[in-house]
Amino acid sequence: MDIGFIGLGNMGAHMARRLIEAGHRVVVYDTRQEAIGNLAARGAIAARSPAEVAHAAETVMASLPTPDIVLAVATGADGVVAGRRVRRFVDLSTTGAVTAQRIFALMAARNIVQIDCPVSGGVAGAERGTLALMASGPRAEIAAVEPALAVIGKMFFIGEQSGAGQTMKLVNNVLSATAMAATAEALVMGAKAGLNPHIMLDVINAGTGRNTATEDKFAKAVLPGTFDLGFTAGLMTKDVKLFLAESGALGVPTPVIAAVGRQFELTCTEVGPDKDISAIVQPVENRAGVKLRGSNNAS
What is the C-alpha to C-alpha distance for residues 287 and 20, in angstroms, rounded to an integer? 48
Q: Are 102 and 68 in contact (CB under 8 A)?
A: no
Taken in order 277, 283, 285, 286, is the CA torsion positive or negative? positive
Q: How far apart are CA 24 and CA 38, in angstroms?
A: 17
238 flagged as catalytic:
no
DSSP state of 130: -
How far is residue 232's CA from residue 157's CA, in Å, rounded to a whole number? 27
CA distance to 118, 173, 276, 283, per residue, from 269 (Å)? 27, 21, 13, 10
Residue 2 to residue 24: CA distance in whole angstroms: 6
With beta carbons less than 8 A apart as the criterion, state whether 93 and 70 touch. Answer: yes
Catalytic member of 169, 217, 238, 291: 169
Identify the CA nearest to 222 among candidates 201, 194, 204, 195. Answer: 201
Q: Which residues form the catalytic set?
A: 169
